[in-house]
């Protein structure tokens, strides 16, 4: 039964990936002339509505169960704050990673696909900023996280291998961006968000992290163009550092190691917070009414053992599903991988 459900889940993901590719091609070739319609079709229809409805219809049989399976579960206020702080740090880490891979690709002669084929001059405005904030930060944070960390990872681990689901959800998340430049850092970011999803047993943290990363990217890009103080200062500092390679390397290394250390520290705090919450839930379910002292001691010993063994956030490995049950996952890799590879080839031509 589990294998059948995983097969259904992976086929739903393949359909969603196919729709994303179709809408992307229609938008890129100009068939869908309005970029807002293209984005809405990709995000809301392909990544949210279609997979939610199909999963509910063929797997969970109940909308509430779908929400539960995909990790729509509230977290504590402290966890929310930790996730917002993590999101800020991950943005800057992501900037380092993106810059590294962009520089590496440019050394090979690769040119950004959109810059190469688009000659339109962008007129920056507050209206454009709001539009991009919705299309680039809010919708992707909800829709992309539902499909990848929610369905492919959180629901997928019910029927398959947790580590396998974490890896494939991260790589497919990178490939789903359908361009080689974003693939590398999106996959790394996807792995971190996936791990935090497993720690929290909820996709709310990954939604916050995804939102913060995209929102800050939009803020700094458009804010700099609109002459806002903080984004402009940040851009000027990067220009100054790029002119002094040695200073740039030293400061970049210091910032990078500091960011990584703080990320590890905050993840540790998030794990502790989630563990404490689960301990509280576990204790609430215990019934000490009319128990003898020895029986109460037994239950207390059980709690101590759980805390000592860290079983509250140990992830079950699960069984391997085999080729038959992963045929749609492999097909998704091939489909999104071909378009990503095409973006590399077109950028080099």
Nearest CA to 157 out of 11, 1, 313, 318 is that of: 318
Count of Cβ atoms closer than 10 Å to residue 274 Cβ: 23
Check residue 330 and give its pLDDT.
Answer: 93
Whole-angstrom Cα distance, residue 81 to residue 298?
36
Count of Cβ atoms closer than 10 Å to residue 345 Cβ: 10
Check residue 207 and give its pLDDT.
Answer: 97
User: Residue ranges of the alpha helices (H) in the chain?
Assistant: 2-28, 35-40, 50-55, 63-69, 77-107, 113-117, 126-133, 139-145, 156-159, 162-175, 180-200, 204-225, 229-243, 245-285, 293-309, 322-325, 327-348
Overall residue count recorded for the chain in this entry: 349
Count of Cβ atoms closer than 10 Å to residue 28 Cβ: 18
Whole-angstrom Cα distance, residue 223 to residue 95?
16
Gyration radius (Cα) of the chain, Å: 22
Predicted TM-score of the model (pTM):
0.90
What is the chain's pLDDT, residue by residue, as a tens digit (349 residues)? 567 899 999 999 999 999 999 999 998 888 887 889 999 999 999 999 999 999 999 999 999 999 999 999 988 898 999 999 999 999 999 988 888 888 888 888 887 655 554 445 567 788 888 999 999 999 999 999 999 999 999 999 988 889 999 999 999 999 999 999 899 999 999 999 999 999 888 999 999 999 999 999 999 989 988 889 999 998 888 888 778 878 888 888 898 899 999 999 998 888 888 777 777 777 777 766 677 778 778 877 777 766 665 544 555 556 667 777 789 999 999 999 999 988 888 777 7
Check residue 119 and give its pLDDT.
Answer: 46
Residue 40 sits at the vertex; the CA angle it makes with 99 and 149, to the nearest 5 degrees, is: 60
Whole-angstrom Cα distance, residue 57 to residue 15?
15
């Amino acid at each position: 039964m589990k294998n059948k459900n995983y097969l259904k889940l992976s086929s739903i993901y393949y359909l969603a990936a196919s729709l994303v590719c179709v809408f992307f091609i229609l938008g890129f070739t100009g068939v869908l002339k309005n970029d807002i319609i293209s984005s809405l079709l990709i995000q809301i229809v392909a990544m949210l509505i279609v997979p939610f409805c199909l999963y509910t219809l063929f797997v969970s049989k109940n909308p509430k169960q779908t929400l539960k399976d995909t990790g729509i579960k509230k977290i504590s206020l402290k966890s929310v704050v930790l996730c917002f702080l993590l999101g800020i740090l991950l943005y800057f880490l992501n900037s380092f990673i993106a810059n590294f891979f962009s520089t590496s690709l440019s050394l090979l002669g690769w040119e950004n696909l959109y810059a190469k084929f688009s000659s339109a001059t962008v007129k920056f405005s507050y209206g454009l900023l709001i539009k991009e904030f919705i299309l680039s930060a809010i919708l992707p944070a909800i829709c992309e996280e539902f499909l990848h960390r929610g369905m492919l990872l959180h629901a997928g681990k019910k029927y398959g291998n947790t580590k396998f689901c974490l890896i494939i959800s991260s790589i497919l998340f990178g490939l789903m961006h359908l361009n080689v430049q974003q693939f590398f850092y999106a996959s790394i970011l996807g792995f971190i968000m996936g791990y935090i999803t497993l720690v929290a047993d909820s996709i709310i943290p990954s939604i916050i992290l995804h939102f913060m990363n995209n929102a800050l990217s939009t803020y700094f890009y458009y804010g700099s163009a609109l002459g806002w103080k903080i984004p402009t200062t940040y851009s000027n500092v990067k220009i100054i550092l790029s002119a002094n390679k040695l200073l740039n390397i030293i400061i970049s290394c210091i910032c990078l190691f500091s960011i990584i250390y703080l990320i590890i520290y905050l993840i540790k705090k998030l794990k502790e917070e989630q563990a404490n919450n689960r301990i509280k839930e576990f204790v609430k379910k215990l019934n000490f009414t009319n128990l003898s002292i020895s029986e109460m001691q037994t239950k207390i010993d059980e709690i101590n053992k759980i805390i000592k063994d860290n079983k509250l956030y140990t992830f079950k490995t699960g069984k391997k599903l085999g080729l038959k049950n992963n045929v749609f996952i492999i097909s998704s890799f091939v489909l999104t991988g071909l378009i990503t590879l095409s973006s590399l080839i077109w950028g080099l031509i």
